[in-house]
Structure 1
Amino acid sequence: MMRDALLRDLSELAGVEAVATSDDRLAPPPCGEIHDVRERDDVWKAWASLARGCDVAWPIAPETGGVLSRLARLLGETGVDVIGPSEEAIAIASSKFLTAQRLRERGVPTPPVWRVSAAPDHTSPVVVKPDDGAGCDATLFLEEPPASIPAGSIVQPFVAGEAASLTVLRAHGATRLLSANRQHVAIEDGAFRFQGLTVGAIEDADGRLAALARAVGDALPGLDGIFGIDLVLGADGPVVIEINPRLTTAYCGLRESLGLNPVSLVPPFDVAPLAAWAGARPVEVRL
C-alpha cells in the first residue's frame, strides 16, 4: 500500500519517471515502470541494478533486522541520491532502547526503558517488545512483571491514553508536522494489534504536537524526508513511544488528508510551498 501510494504520487510529477520492483506472485502496482521479481531472484542485486539507472531512490522497508539500513546503504553505494535518514539515525531509531535513551537525554517525554537484566519487578502493567522491531510485532501487554522475557526484548511501563502517530516532514533542516493521526490499536490475548489508523484525525490547535515533532527532529538530526512518530496522548500530555525513520502506513491516506501531493514537499521534488495547505482532514486507512 505504501509503495503503490508513493508510485502514484511520484508518477504525477512532471518530468519524473517512477521505477519499482514487484513480487510476481502479487498484483502489480497500477502505475510506474514495474520490474517483476521472482522467488528465485536476488532482489538485492535487482534493486542495485535499477538504482544505477535512476537519479533518486526512496527506500520503503522495515528497520527490523537491519533491512532498512542495508537497503539505504546499498542504494547509496550505487551513487544515487537516497531520500531518507542518515545511517546513524536509522541505527538509533531501529533500537527502542537507544531511541528512548536519546529522547530522554534531549528532554523529549518518553517512558523509561529497561534491558531484560535490569527490568524492575515492581512496575506494572508493562509492555514487552523486541528492541529491534517495527510496529506492533511481538509487542505484549502484561498486567504483572513477566517471569521470563524473550531474548532481545526491552521492558517499558504501560502508558495509558490514546494511541496516536505523527507524520512528519524533515527538509532543508526544518521539521514540519504534516498530520496527527489516531491509531486503531487493540489488545487481544495480551498482544497489541495494529488495525489501521485515521490520518489527520487529531487537531493540534495549541501547537503542542508540532513542537513535539520539532523536538524529535532536533534530538535525532539525521532524520530526513517523511517519517513517523508513534506516541500516546496521556493525561499529562503526549509521550513519544518510538520513531519510524521511513514512510509509514499513514502515507496511504496522506494525500487525501492534505489535499495535495505529499511528494511535492520533499526535496528534490519540492515544488509546493510549505504553506500550501490549510491542514489535514480525517482519512481512514484500514488493514
Structure 2
Amino acid sequence: MKVFLFDYASGGGLSMQPLDHSLMRPGEIRHRALLSDLSAIAGIDIITTRDARLPKMDLCLSPTGAAVVIPVRNGFESYFTDCMEQADAVWLIAPESDDILENLSRQILSHNRILLGSTPAAIHIAASKLRTVRALAEAGIPVVETYTPEDVLPQHIAASAWVVKPDKGAGCRNSRIFSSPPKALAWIAANSDDNFILQPFMSGQPCSLCLICCNGVARVLSCNKQRIAVRDNQLYFLGSTINSFVDVTGDLDRLAQDIAAAIPGLWGYVGVDFIFTDTGPVVLEVNPQMTSSCAGLHASIDCNPAELVLGLLHETGMGSLLEKTLKATSVSIDVATFDTLQ
C-alpha cells in the first residue's frame, strides 16, 4: 500500500505565506512521529511533501522503511492532488480552522482514495468546540459550558476566570485567560479576526486521552497529564506525560465510548482534552486527528499506533484491537525539544 502522508503546515500548505515556525512546529511533531511509525510497517510505501524553504528532513526510518519527500513551492494544491492520485490512502495532519481538514478530507474521498481519518461529517462537529460541546451535552456527557460573544452569560456561573479561544483550532494557540467576562469580551472586540468562544475556567488537572475509534467504538491507548503555562494572559502548551495515570474506575473508558457514539464517523486516531475535576472528567474538546501526544505513544504502549489504525481497514480490525493487551509506560513529551525547523 502506498500512503500519502500530508502535514499541511510544514508540507506546503503555508508556502505562499511568510515562514512562521510557531504554526509549523505542532504539525512537524506529529508528522515526524507518524512518518517513523508508518515506515516501520512492512509493505507500506510513503510519499510526503515538504515546504521547500524548510531544512531537509533528516529521516530516521526503519531499515525496511522508504519515503519519497516532494519539495513544495508556491502553493500546495497541485502537489497535493498529484501525490494523492499516486497513493492508495491519505493520512492528513491539518488545521481545523477555515475548514481545511474537513475540505481536504472531502477531496480525498471524492478521488476515491482511502481516508485514514474521521469522516468529513465527524470533522465538521469535532473541529468546532461549540458544536462539539453541544453534541456531547445532548448525549449526557459532562462538558465545559461554552458561549459565543453574542450569548447572554448565565448569572449562575461564578468562575474565577474566563478562557477565550478560537472555536476552531487545536492546542493553546490564541487561547487567553481573563479575570472577568467584560475583560474577555473587550479583548474579543479588539481582535475580531477570529471566531472566538468563551469558557469558564475550571479548576483541576488538564488531561487528554489518545483513542482509536471505529464504527462508534473507541479503544483508549493512553491517559495523559498535560502541562499548561500562562504568561501575559496567554496559555501555552508545554507538553504532556503519556500514560501518567491509570483509569482504575473505568470512567475514562466509558467516556471514550460515549464520545465515539455521540459523534458518528470518528475514525482512527482521536484526541480528547478534558479537565479532571473533583467530580470527575469534564470534556473541553475532541480532536479528530493525531495530537502531539503521538510523539511518545509508540514508546508508551510498546506498539505501533499507525499499524493499529491501518488494522481498522480489515473487517476484524476493531475487534482485534479491543482484545489486544497494551503496555502503559509513562513517557514525558516536552514540545520544546522537537524544534527541528530552525
Q: Distance between the aligned counterparts of 2:93 and 2:279, measured in 1? A: 34
**Which residue matches 1:27?**
56
1:234 aligns with 2:277: yes
Q: Which has the higher helix share?
A: 2
Change (3 A) 1:136 1:12: same
SS of residue in 1 equivalent to 2:93 = coil
Please list, as runs of the form range in 1=range in 2, the aligned pairs for 1:193-204 lying within 5 A after superposition. 193-204=236-247
2:126 corresponding residue in structure 1? 93
What is the CA deviation profile of residues 10-66 of structure 1, one whole-angstrom value per residue up to 9, with x for unaligned ones? 1111211121112232231514423333332x3122111111111111111121221
Structure 2 gap segments, 5+ residues each: 1-28, 336-342
Q: Whole-Å Cα distance in 1 between the matches of residues 217 and 150 of structure 2?
A: 39
Instruction: Tell me the secondary structure at the aligned position of residue 26 of structure 1.
Output: coil
Q: Are the aligned partners of 1:160 and 1:234 in contact in 2 as well (CA < 8 Å)?
A: yes
In the alignment, the residues of structure 1 paired with residue 127 and residue 49 of structure 2 have an alpha-carbon distance, to the nearest angstrom, of: 24
State the shift of 1:272 in Å. 10
Question: Which residue is 1:2 aligned to?
Answer: 30
Structure 1 stretches lacking a partner, 5+ long: none
2:172 paired residue number: 136
Q: Which amino acid aligns with 1:91?
A: H
Structure 2 CA distance for partners of 1:121 and 1:220, relative to 1, 3 Å: closer
Distance 2:300 2:148 in 1: 39
1:52 aligns with 2:85: yes
Q: Number of residue pairs matched?
A: 286
Q: State whether structure 2 residue 218 is matched by structure 1 residue 170.
A: no
The secondary structure found in structure 1 opposite 2:92 is: coil
- CA deviations 1:137-161 (Å, max 9, x no partner) are 1111111123422432111111110
> For the residues of structure 1 that align with 2:208 and 2:83, how far apart are their CA atoms?
33
Gap change, CA 1:98 and 1:14, over 3 Å in 2: same
What letter corresponds to residue 73 of structure 2 in structure 1?
Answer: E
Distance (Å, rounded) in 2 between the aligned partners of 1:4 and 1:119 = 44
State yes or no: 1:286 paired with 2:334.
yes
Distance 1:277 1:27, change over 3 A: farther
Residue in structure 2 matched with residue 105 of structure 1 by the alignment = 138
1:173 deviates by 4.2
Q: Secondary structure at the match of 1:3?
A: helix
Contact 1:128 1:153 in 2 (8 A): yes
What is the CA deviation profile of residues 218-267 of structure 1, one whole-angstrom value per residue up to 9, with x for unaligned ones? 11011100110000001110000001100000111110000011122122
**Does the CA-based 8 Å contact 2:214-2:318 persist in structure 1?**
no
Partner deviation per Cα, 1:70-114 (whole Å, 9 max, x = no partner): 221222222211011111111111111111111111101001111
202-211 vs 171-180, which deviates more? 171-180
Distance 2:306 2:169 in 1: 27
| Residue of structure 2 equivalent to 1:146 | 182
Residue from 313, 323, 338 that aligns with 1:268? 313
Taking only aligned residues, the RMSD between alpha carbons, in angstroms, comes to 1.9
d(CA) in 2 for partners of 1:212, 1:129: 24
**Percent of pairs identical after alignment?**
32
Q: Determine the C-alpha separation between the residues in 2 that align with 1:154 and 1:88.
A: 21
- 1:245-256 correspondence to structure 2 within 5 Å: 245-256=288-299
2:147 pairs with one of 114, 139, 161: 114
Matched to 2:182, the amino acid is: P
Q: Is contact 2:215–2:264 with CA below 8 Å preserved after alignment?
A: no
Secondary structure in structure 2 of the residue aligned to 1:66: helix
- CA distance in structure 2 between the partners assigned to 1:91 and 1:244 by the alignment: 11
The residue that corresponds to 1:219 in the other structure is: 262
TM-score normalized with structure 2 length: 0.79
Q: Contact 1:121/1:145 (CA < 8 Å) preserved in 2?
A: no
Q: Distance in 2 between matches of 1:250 and 1:22?
A: 22
Q: Which residue of the partner structure matches residue 11 of structure 1?
A: 39
Structure 1 length-normalised TM: 0.93
Which stretch has the larger CA shift, 175-184 or 258-267?
258-267
Secondary structure at 1:241 match in 2 = strand
| Contact 1:60 1:246 survives alignment (8 Å) | yes
